[in-house]
A and B are shown apart, each in its own frame.
Chain A
Amino acid sequence: MNGEILRRFDTITPGARRVLYAYAVAASVLLLGAVLNPGFASWTSLRAVLVVAAFTGFVAAGQMLVVLVGGIDLSIPWVLNGAAIVLTTTSLGQSVRLPYALALALGVGALAGFANGMGVAWLGVPAVVMTLGMNGVLQGLSLGLSKGLTCASCGSYAPQPLRDLFVGGVAGVPAALLVWIGVALLMTVLLTLTTFGRRVYAVGVNSRAAFLSGVGVRGVTVALYTLSGVFAALAGIMLVGYGGQPSLGLGDPYLFESIAAVVVGGVSILGGRGHYLGVVAGSLTLVAVTTFLQAQRVPEYGRLMIYGLVILVILFAYGRDKSHD
């Protein structure tokens, strides 16, 4: 019986195995938390972890897409923050304006992502430089145009329907969670069942070989960066729906957290390998660790150190490069 399971395990592809590892880590973190602090396993606490993990999950979805082709998106913090500011300043808290404001905020994200993609794919600017520059550009524009978030319309809140949705939820289930399930389905279908998905992995494994076999490498790259911008904007919209008002620096924690979630989720940082289901587990793991440490009243310095150590341990477990020898 046991041998049967082991044999089955051997037949799973390495990609699926990494996803399993990611879930095993997430499960053990949650379990450990529940053992050490009984309150941690309560539905209210789990629900809070899931909602917070959803925000990391949205951002990590975009980050994962560009990491799959060996890129990186450092513009996430201010795409997110910019979209959040656009949403409240154009909607002015009025429900009628919500559809336009939503379209505009997502449009800002798509435009920033598109520009990133064009810079990387057509102008040959390294991804780190292009997205770092874009982050600065958006930070300057957000700060400058909103006069450091002191403009007349900057005090407005997100429209009530959006806030009801994200604070209240739909039939008791938090809306952020429902959107996350939708995003997870979309990402999984897009990457595993469509030709676009096959192309993404082909470019990630070897872009030259993909190009020679007729994949429009540049088009794929631009599409992925655009999607990353849209996901970051989506996260900004939901954060503002959840919190009511944007703040400056809202997106800053998500830069490194998105990269960590992607890698803890078993996606190779070199590109070409990984599934979004793993990234879901990665986001859960990271948020569960932080939430647990906060619940235990571990001071900030301790949280930072343990967070770093946990990432290192996970990397040692399944994030190592192949040996040269």
Chain B
Amino acid sequence: MRDRLGYVVLVATIAAYLVVYSSSLGRLPTSFDYLSILNTMLPLVFVAIGQSLVVLTGGIDLSVGGIVSLCVAVTATIVTGDGLAPFGWVLVVLVLGAACGAVNGVIVSAGRIAPILTTLATLSIFTGLALWVLPVPGGSIPPVVRNVLSNPNVPTGLIWLGVAIGGWLVLRRTRFGMRVYAVGSDETSARAVGVPAARVKLGVYALSGLCSGLAAVFYVSTTTAGDANAGAPFILTSIASVVVGGVAFSGGRGSALGAVAGAVALTLVIDVLFFAGIDPLYQSLFQGLFLVVAVLLGTVATLVTRRRRAVT
């Protein structure tokens, strides 16, 4: 049940969105609404996938905020030109994101420093680098990149969402995917049966960095400008997505798909509040309640199923 928490919450949020939207505007959402939601949510979806991989190994990545900021700054600065050149630069940004993540991975696995502390320190370093690259908000992105990534008229974002989900479905069936769960469930046992836990951790942090890089590219593509503080909100929202998505903080339980559902739900909640006519100042109150209630529902559901199992 807990594994499906994210989907239950997502369905409930979509229902609430449709009800609130249609009662407020007297019609159903149009394709324009769906498209703008899709493009707004993509960065968080990517960060949440990366965060969920790290949480699955029992860690946490606070530096996603710094990596997103750095990659946003770099994207807005270096991705220029036309034809295929800008896509080459996008690849460079993705490599940079993965490299930043790998630094976390090395410190966590070889340096044996707790993930929350490692990424707390690197968060500061990456944010500093972002400010160095782009001291004031600005920069731009070539229209050709925008058309391919988050086209305002055609749902190209769906393709990338599909690629991300497909990537996860493949990854979890690979040896690496199995090992992620093994390390998260019980690291000592995993080591005992020969799982190279250090390399697995290095891998998940690098992948989380890659996901943050992707998020940054989509962020710049949607907002058409860069800001060295763009990443900060993603720290807490990515953790919230992972939690709502039913991934256990102790590691080893849950899936990145749940985190995707959590991220979509969290993005939709803002629209629900908007169309329900709630003062935007109260927005974080309801987001906070949403987070706690969603997790409480998961706990209650687990208790109920366990009791039912005990009876039968």
Evaluate contact between A316 and B111: CB separation under 8 angstroms: yes
Q: Chain B interface residue count: which class? A: 35 or more
Q: Which residues of A contact B127 (CB under 8 A)?
A: 304
- Of B112, B135, B281, the contact of A143 (CB 8 Å cutoff): B281
The interface stretch among B150-158, B160-168, B290-298 is B290-298
Choose one: A123, A320, A322; the contact of B111 (CB below 8 Å): A320
**Contact flag A137-B289 (CB < 8 Å), given A144-B279, A316-B111:** yes
- A132 & B191 in contact (Cβ 8 Å cutoff): no
B287: chain A residues within 8 A (beta carbon): 136, 140
Chain A residues contacting B132 (CB-CB under 8 Å) are 301-302, 305
B288 within 8 A of A: yes
Q: For the complex, give the distance between the alpha carbons of A148 and B117 in Å.
A: 33
Indicate if B193 sits at the interface (CB-CB under 8 A): no
In the complex, the answer to whether B288 meets A135 with C-beta atoms within 8 Å is: yes
For A74, A125, A136, A309, the residue with the greatest tally of chain B CB atoms inside 10 Å of its CB is A136
A8 near B: Cβ within 8 Å?
Answer: no
Residues B129 and A305 in contact, CB atoms below 8 Å apart: yes
User: Within 8 Å of chain B (Cβ to Cβ): is A133?
Assistant: yes
* Known contacts A144-B282, A315-B121, A129 near B114 by CB under 8 Å: no
CB pairs A–B below 8 angstroms (29 shown): A123-B296, A125-B295, A129-B249, A132-B291, A133-B289, A134-B292, A136-B284, A138-B288, A140-B288, A141-B282, A143-B284, A144-B285, A259-B116, A269-B114, A269-B117, A301-B130, A301-B131, A301-B135, A302-B128, A302-B132, A304-B128, A305-B125, A308-B121, A308-B123, A311-B117, A311-B120, A312-B107, A319-B113, A322-B112
| B residues adjacent to A (C-beta < 8 A) | 60, 62, 107, 111-114, 116-118, 120-125, 127-132, 135, 187-188, 191, 197, 236, 239-240, 243, 249, 279, 281-289, 291-292, 295-296, 299
What would 9 more interface pairs be, CB under 8 Å, given A137-B288, A140-B285, A269-B117? A132-B288, A132-B291, A137-B284, A140-B286, A259-B120, A305-B124, A309-B125, A312-B121, A321-B113
